[in-house]
Amino acid sequence: MITVVGSVNLDLVAVVDHLPQAGETIVAVSHQRNHGGKGANQAAAAARLGSVVAFVGCVGSDPLGNELTLGLAREGIDVSGLRTCSGVSGMAMITIDRNGENAIVVGSGANSEVALDHSATDLIVGASIVLTQLEIPMSTVLDTVRVATGTTIVNAAPATDLPTELLAATDVLIVNEVELVSVAGSSNPQAARDLGVATVVTTLGERGAQVVTAGDVVYVPAPEVLVQDTTGAGDTFCGAFAVALDEGNDVFDATARAVVAGSMATTRIGAREAMPTRNQLEDKIARLR
């Protein structure tokens, strides 16, 4: 079982000709209203690929809270660890340009109230894979890796300084290139090793990913796809990586599968809308061989 501890948001997405500059008002080509949040997206990605997934987080007491909870439940995710907190649910404002690049502003809302109670702790202790991110309080991230008995995966997004205790309790750290520089001070593989984490996986966008272990640096290329929207590609990568580890793959094979899944998630607008199912991913991998 995979337990994801993280954020859940409503995403307001505007597709634009170009990302606005400071003080500039532009008219969107189109706009959408989608379910998102790094944690919820990663849980959805894992569930669509066939894993048993539980989610720990918070939604607000506003009408969005019930909607977001039902959205996760419809993905087949165990939401017994998703609490309703006072205040508003999390929300993200996303603009996407014609090249698929995005700019995102997140309002944390109830995500700032995520904490572990007894039921959440039970879900974490009972999981073979525990996946978390940094859109929730750092204290909760630390509590999560402290109590986990399975493999711990931390997606260090959004980038921030990482406590030594967190790094010491993390089995796999997943970052993008900007986040790697933020947490390690350099993009050099040795800087990743110096963090003290057994495995550091860096996503490289259209170039694929880099896996750094104590003994190896392996680059995994990404397949060419027609990019429509990069929103959610990293979350899809994390979810697919967790599933592959849960099924017994090593970190290199897990990264290879996750790269393909992440690339597929860029082919449609929206964070969850293009996340592949298990059959879709297997078909894509088979065509790439």
- At residue 120, φ and ψ (nearest 5 deg) are -65, -45
On the 0-12 / 13-18 / 19+ scale of CB atoms within 10 A, 214 is: exposed
Based on the residue annotation, tell me whether 194 is a catalytic residue of this protein. Answer: no
Distance CA 162, CA 157 (A): 11
Spell out where the chain has E strands: 2-5, 9-15, 30-36, 53-59, 78-84, 90-96, 102-107, 129-132, 151-155, 172-176, 199-203, 209-212, 217-220
Which residue, 10, 108, 113, 118, is CA-closest to 66? 10
Give the count of beta carbons closer than 10 Å to the beta carbon of residue 96.
25
Quote the radius of gyration of the chain (alpha carbons, Å). 18
- Give how far Cα 119 sits from Cα of 58, 124, 150, 180, Å: 13, 9, 17, 33
Distance CA 131, CA 199 (A): 14
DSSP class of residue 99 equals T
Contact 7, 57 (CB under 8 A): yes
Distance CA 236, CA 31 (A): 22
Q: Which of 78, 171, 235, 246 is catalytic?
A: 235
The catalytic site residues sit at 235
